[in-house]
Structure 1
Amino acid sequence: MKKIIMTGGGSAGHVTPNLALVPKLKELGYEIKYIGTKDGIERKIIEQEKIDYYAISSGKLRRYFDIKNFTDPFKVLKGICQAVVIMKKEKPNIVFSKGGFVAVPVVIAAHLNKIPVIAHESDMTPGLANRLSTPYCTKVCVTFPESVNKVKDNKAVLTGTPIREELLNGSRILGRKICEFGQEKPVLLIIGGSLGSKFINDIIRNNIDKFLEDYNIVHICGKGNLDKGLVEKKGYKQFEYINEELPHVMNAADIVLSRAGANVIFELLALKKPNILVPLSKKSSRGDQILNAASFEKSGYSIVIQEEELNENVLMENLRELCNNRNKYINNMENSTVKNGTEAIINTIKKYTK
């Protein structure tokens, strides 16, 4: 039996694309193991899938000054040593990395053991972890055509991003039932990412009665961000994080307000959900979401509001515009040439399996 070790963590965006590949890999006869961090969100997600999980040490690689910058490199070195031991024990035929800081020691350990590594970059420009990993990778799968020339050493393969099959099979009726919504108002889905967006959360909750006049709202607000005072609010359903019920909840949505991480926006494209994107600002990110959002706006899939420009009035006005022109955005998405990247990534893994 062929064996693959998967890695990636730090946010759900570094984990859930792996899950889109798992059913096909199992079908092809791959035994799957996973390496992540001890306390990262990836551990809960992967263990729910009954996949064997190894936890290793990992330090965060920051672009700004922090006293931990002096200690975290030692955590990375420890993680490399731990990953080397795992590689020697498991003897995988290939490693697949979805990025995030935990991936760096895993990729380096695989390289030291002469195990081929396929990485995947969701955003238009490679993140720091993937940039550090690229020299040790066999190939790097990319989502945007613009990304091909941004990966060094001619290692880029344009595949698109993998979409979980179950997302495409959700039930609108069941989604409304889960949220306890009637049929009288359109459903607005708010996605702030797996870690949540305090900025977006506050705008919605500080003006909740105003927004509920026009919409039923289902709010994925991030871990630790539930508002207990709004639990009983009619027409408002909140989740910290949602997994098994997500296909039904996404299918129930008429319009979506979201951050602009690559995984979620390509899921919205696959589901043909008209959306407003509020990318993370350059103050709190490397600007990748701004580029992702600009690409979707240019293609006519999304309305984009920069974080610095967003307030309750601007949001309300753009939600109305999105509702009034839903068919325009749906038609643009239906005419998209972007495909589900699962098959292309699987083919790349098969090609380079040792």
Structure 2
Amino acid sequence: MIAGGRHVLFVGGGSAGHVVPSIPLIHHFRDAGWRVTYVGSGAPEKDLIPALQVEFFSIPSGKLRRYWSTKNVLDVFRMLAGIWQATRLLRRLQPDVIFSKGGFVAFPVVLGAWLNRIPVVAHESDLTPGLANRLSAPFVDVVCTSFVETQLGRARVKHTGTPLRPELLNGVADRGRELCGFDTGKPLLLVVGGSLGSDVINTAVRRGIRHLTKRFNVAHVCGPGRVDARLRGQPGYRQFEYIDAGWGDVLAAADLVVSRAGANAVFELAALGKPSLLIPLSAQASRGDQIDNARYAERQGWSRVLVEEDLDHERLLVELIGLESRAVTLRQRNAPSDATATIAGVIESVARTPAAQR
């Protein structure tokens, strides 16, 4: 373990998936005596990272769109400003190594690191790489991946898996049931539509709630501002805008899970041995990365998949009955393990390697 004044800088943002996987690594390096800093741009990193008592720096970042928009013109200038600010910031901070988790803010920092000859380790969560990591790859020393099949051109790729938060691995089921207000009479079905919620999943659950609650106690994480007041007090049904403290406990209590198919969610559910029904974001609303993640999980035997176009309350119930019947088999599949120590080892190795040998 390297200590003695070493400094690792993290970058990533724009969504929870580009921030949360860094948190176990932040704890790892801080516990090992490293200085830890973080560069972001907006939500959610501005809320999540300072709460960890980590030095936080903000730079502008333009959105990397895959389609034409007049906003692209303005975002070119934001991106250039971000590269300029990141280059100056890194010259001042002089970290030993940078860990990039992707998102729009990552590319200016990675390019600034290359200009300052600071080594970079990146992590790609999805099976198919995102645009920020594809642009960053030529300037990165090592790209760690969650999926074995992920490739990034000529970049040096190392399959590691994904970091998992300790609180998820150490949840207490009784506390989770207590938080939801359920007894142990029926299986607990946990429904979560991503950090912002999902209208299409929320609608399917609520239209079928009377049928679902005949079979399950339903804990529904529906997203900020998406609680349906008409269903407050519905027996066997509890709505949450989000769950922060106690999330690991609720996961521990869950017998079945309905979820989007972001890479972090897929790996967390598989690591916990939770039989899951994945409803990936449609290709019309995304680049299709969640569809790829979900099909991979299905091939591994971790999950069943229901595409959004086929989702309604009747099909949801049918799929959940099928999932319940296969729950024991799904729990017995080989599950991924926490990759925090593995990725930390890669970061430490890159930080130790002289520039001429990288």
| Global fold match (TM > 0.5) | yes
Q: Aligned partners of 2:178 and 2:53: how far apart in 1?
A: 28
Distance 2:107 2:229 in 1: 38
Amino acid at match of 1:250: L
CA deviations 1:126-184 (Å, max 9, x no partner) are 1001101111111110111111xx21224111111111122110000000111111221
Deviation at 1:223, TM superposition (A): 3.1
- SS state of the match for residue 243, structure 2? coil
For 1:88 and 1:232, locate their aligned partners in 2 and report how far apart those are by CA, in whole Å: 57
| Alignment partner of 2:337 out of 324, 334, 339 | 339
Report the residue type matching 1:294 in the other structure.
Answer: R
Aligned to 1:37: 41
| Shift of residue 22, structure 1, vs aligned partner | 1.9
SS in structure 2 at match of 1:86: helix
Instruction: Tell me the residue number matched to 1:50.
Output: 53
Rate the CA distance shift 1:41–1:234 in 2: closer, same or farther, 3 A: farther
Distance in 2, matches of 1:228 and 1:68, equals 37
Is the CA contact 1:36–1:55 (under 8 Å) kept in the aligned structure 2?
yes
Q: How does 1:183-332 map to 2 (within 5 A)?
A: 183-332=184-333
2:90 alignment counterpart:
87
Return the letter of the residue paired with 2:38.
Y
SS of equivalent residue, structure 2 residue 111: helix
C-alpha distance 226-41 of structure 1, shift in aligned 2 (>3 A): farther
Q: Residue 232 and residue 49 in structure 1: after superposition, are their counterparts in 2 closer, same or farther (change >3 A)? A: farther
Counterpart in the other structure of 1:350: 348
Q: Does 1:138 align with 2:141?
A: yes
User: Aligned pair 1:63/2:66, yes or no?
Assistant: yes
Q: Which runs of 5+ in 1 are unaligned?
A: none
Q: 2:67 and 2:155 mapped to 1: Cα distance?
A: 29
Q: 2:102 matched to 1:102?
A: no
1:61 is paired with a residue whose SS is coil
What's the % identity of the aligned pairs? 45
Instruction: Kindly report the root-mean-square deviation, in angstroms, between the aligned alpha carbons of the 2 structures.
Output: 1.5
**Deviation of the 1:208 alpha carbon:** 2.4
Greater Cα shift, 239-248 or 317-326: 239-248
Q: CA deviation at 1:273?
A: 0.3
Contact 2:138/2:155 (8 A) holds in 1: no
Tell me the amino acid that sits aligned with residue 353 of structure 1: A
8 Å contact kept, 2:143–2:155: no
Contact in 2 for aligned 1:11/1:195 (Cα 8 Å): no
Instruction: Give the deviation of 1:81 after TM superposition.
Output: 1.8
Q: Which stretches of structure 1, 4 residues or longer, exceed 4 Å deviation after superposition?
A: none
- Tell me, in whole angstroms, the C-alpha distance in 2 between the residues paired with 1:32 and 1:228: 43
- 2: CA distance, partners of 1:74 / 1:210: 53
Letter in 2 for 1:191: V
Shift of 1:245: 1.4
* Unpaired segments ≥5 residues, structure 2: 353-358
How many Å separate the matches in 2 of 1:86 and 1:243?
A: 32
1:21-51 per-residue CA deviation (whole Å, 9 max, x = no partner) reads: 122212222111111113x112111122121
Alpha-carbon distance in structure 2 between the residues aligned to 1:235 and 1:96: 43
**C-alpha distance in 2 between matches for 1:41 and 1:303:** 30
1:200 shift after superposition? 0.7
Q: What is the number of residues matched between the two proteins?
A: 348
The 3 A distance-change label for structure 1 pair 241 and 48 is: farther
TM-score of the aligned structures, taking structure 1 as reference length = 0.94
What amino acid maps onto 1:70 in structure 2? V
Q: Does the aligned pair in 1 maintain the 2:10–2:99 contact within 8 Å?
A: yes
| Counterpart-to-counterpart distance in 1, 2:232 and 2:246 | 18
